[in-house]
Amino acid sequence: MSTAIELPPRPTPADENKSVIDMSKMNEGQRAALQVTEAARESHDDLSFVAHLFMGRWRPEKLHPLTDGDAAEKVRADKFLADLAAFLRAKVDGDLIDRTGEIPDDVMAGLAKLGCYGIKVPQQYGGLGFSQTTYCRACQLIASHCANTFAHLSIHQSVGVPQPLMLFGTEEQKQNFLPRVAGGEVSAFALTEAGVGSDPARMTTKATPTEDGSAFLLNGEKLWCSNGTRAGLLIVAAQTPPKLVDGKPRTQITAFVVEAKSPGVEVVCRSQFMGHRAIYNGVLRFTNVRVPRAHIVGGEGRGLKVALTTLNAGRLSIPAASIGVAKRSLQIAREWGKVRIQWGVPIGQHAAVAEKIRRIAAHAFAMEAMLLATSRIVDRDKKADIRLEAAMCKLWGTEKAWMCLDDIMQIRGGRGYETEQSLTARGEKPYPVERLMRDNRVTTIFEGSSEIMRLFIMREALDPHLRIAGIALNTERPWRERLGSALRAAGFYAWWYPRQWLTFGGAAPADMHPHLAGYLEKVARRSRRLARTLFHQMVRFGVQLEKRQVLLGRLADIGADLFAIAAACVYAQKLLKDGEPEAKIFMLVDDFCAQALIRIEQNFRGVGHNADQHGYDLAQQVIAGEHQWIERGIV
């Protein structure tokens, strides 16, 4: 296979407001939403492993070999994690926290003493200075025990003050705020509003510059701010005065660090949810809150970029928690599958139950592989492009964790549905399946819902094509520019497209065990099929492709499963190198790959054979009330 994809240069800051996407047929709301998110996109020249997969290119060296990381850190990290595990067992009662909706002060103090509020914060700013991998291991550990404690710590450091300041903060901001948050002062992140969920362009919270320009006055209301009722510091996203682009005002979103005790900051109410009952989530109101200009994070108008970039690495804490949940499900399945006897044998020996146990084991293994592979990329190069990998870890990990929870609920039967308190009262072992399920349902919704993750993945997957051919298809660009772009695109595709039909190429790294190499070659072949399928859909639907969300979703899912197989093989190779027996590791790899390859095949088939349009039409009829008669007979 050829080694280079010639891409046009990424947009310069001056050009980044001119999207390559044709927005001429969009309504104002759609156009505004897209303009804001397009302007906030990160852009990298060096494509990641997954970005290459979508282009049919095979770059295993981006994942392999999976190393141990820094040896000195590992010694320190192992001790920290052992202390943390001991603290969780001794002091953190997940059931009590769930029932009372409160994390006791002594638990927070104990976590602060361990350094849990600044796991990744550099030591020079008072944190533990650990890597992304160690942070993820800590998240997994905590979430396997108590989702509330996990959410509290992860929101604080993944999206609260530490992560955005580490990425975008000025030296003065780092020195002022990082020691406070690393020491245990709680922080929160306020983006969502009643009208702003997945679409930040509609944000109404405003930050108006003061007359002398030294500060801003913040006014508005933020919804569902986790940690918000206990936070000392907040990251708040607000609209600042619009910028003129091509003579038209363009929404600007800016991120600020706000002292929660500032006059005018008010907790309007505390929100209550199905799970995460101690998440200290609330509605926050800001009335003429004075925020110094020096508290802007990342520059005026770059707030969404700060939020989206923060979420790339920040978002890895949620799949880390998903691994904790999947492993806990596996532990319960192993114990209960052996001791619960029905129809004369342990239930784990009934094929229908064994199928679920197998599914949990294989996916817990693959989830860990994906996250390890991605965390290691971050640890090697903090500026590396992991947008696709991180989004896939989040999308795939949270959906597969939910599948595992559904399986363990079924395996536990009626006891799965029973609360821990009730199980304890009857003298039974209180496995927390009911609590785990309530707490974890939200993970496919917050920090980027699954639907938004699929769109995000496909936007990034399409980026090389948009950079090559987007201008040619964009009716808003001058014809000369379009013609030039069309000629360049023709040259590129004449070279690229035939290569997507090659049945050879895509060798595994030389040091890979032949058994694993076989799977990697399958991934390489299917990545070319994925690339040409995506290309065919682009040709078929043109600019309308972005509306085919179900179709794009299938392609995103194929990409995620291919990444999962590749990561599983790379992880397996590391385990073999560490001395794990082949037979044991291959049992898991074989089972996972069999399941993932079946899903991939089904998704490929669904691209050509589906009832997507029919289904969409039915949904529109339902919304229009044409099938309201089906609702007859309910209260």
Ligand X SMILES: Cc1cc2nc3c(=O)[nH]c(=O)nc-3n(C[C@H](O)[C@H](O)[C@H](O)COP(=O)(O)OP(=O)(O)OC[C@H]3O[C@@H](n4cnc5c(N)ncnc54)[C@H](O)[C@@H]3O)c2cc1C
Which residues of this chain interact with ligand X, rule CB under 6 A? 155, 188-192, 197-198, 224-226, 273, 276, 279, 281, 442, 445-446, 449, 451-452, 455, 549
Least Cβ distance, residue 237 to ligand X (angstroms): 8
Q: Which tokens hold the place of 125?
A: 């700013």
Which CB, 201 or 423, lies closer to ligand X?
A: 201
447 is catalytic: yes
* Closest by CA position to 186, among listed 248, 279, 120: 279
Catalytically annotated residue among 447, 476, 481, 582: 447
Which CB, 354 or 452, lies closer to ligand X?
A: 452
Which CB, 19 or 527, lies closer to ligand X?
A: 19
Which CB, 117 or 571, lies closer to ligand X?
A: 117
Within 10 angstroms of residue 301's Cβ, the number of other Cβ atoms is 20
- Torsion angle in degrees (nearest 10) through CA of 12, 17, 20, 22: -170
- How buried is residue 281: exposed, middle or buried, by Cβ count under 10 Å (0-12/13-18/19+)? buried
* DSSP-assigned letter for residue 293: G
> Cα–chain-centroid distance for residue 467?
25
Least Cβ distance, residue 549 to ligand X (angstroms): 6
Say which residues have a Cβ less than 8 Å from residue 620's Cβ, sequence separation at least 6. Answer: none
Least Cβ distance, residue 431 to ligand X (angstroms): 24
Query: Which residue in this structure is represented by tokens 């306020």?
Result: 190
Q: What letter represents residue 192's amino acid?
A: T
Which CB, 446 or 604, lies closer to ligand X?
A: 446
Say which residues have a Cβ less than 8 Å from residue 402's Cβ, sequence separation at least 6. Answer: 440, 441, 443, 444
- Torsion angle in degrees (nearest 10) through CA of 373, 374, 375, 377: 90
Least Cβ distance, residue 195 to ligand X (angstroms): 8
Least Cβ distance, residue 279 to ligand X (angstroms): 6
Which CB, 52 or 222, lies closer to ligand X?
A: 222
Least Cβ distance, residue 445 to ligand X (angstroms): 5
Q: Is the Cβ–Cβ distance between 271 and 281 less than 8 Å?
A: yes
Q: Is the Cβ–Cβ distance between 542 and 473 less than 8 Å?
A: yes
Q: What is the DSSP string of 353-365?
A: HHHHHHHHHHHHH
Read off φ and ψ for residue 292, nearest 5 degrees.
-60, 145
Query: Which residue's CB atom is positioned nearest to ligand X?
Result: 197
| Spatial separation of the C-alpha atoms in residues 495 and 574, rounded to whole Å | 36
* Closest by CA position to 10, among listed 25, 21, 20, 23: 20
Least Cβ distance, residue 450 to ligand X (angstroms): 7
Which CB, 64 or 438, lies closer to ligand X?
A: 438
Assign residue 634 a region: left if phi > 0, alpha if psi is -120 to 50, beta otherwise?
Answer: beta
Active site residues: 447
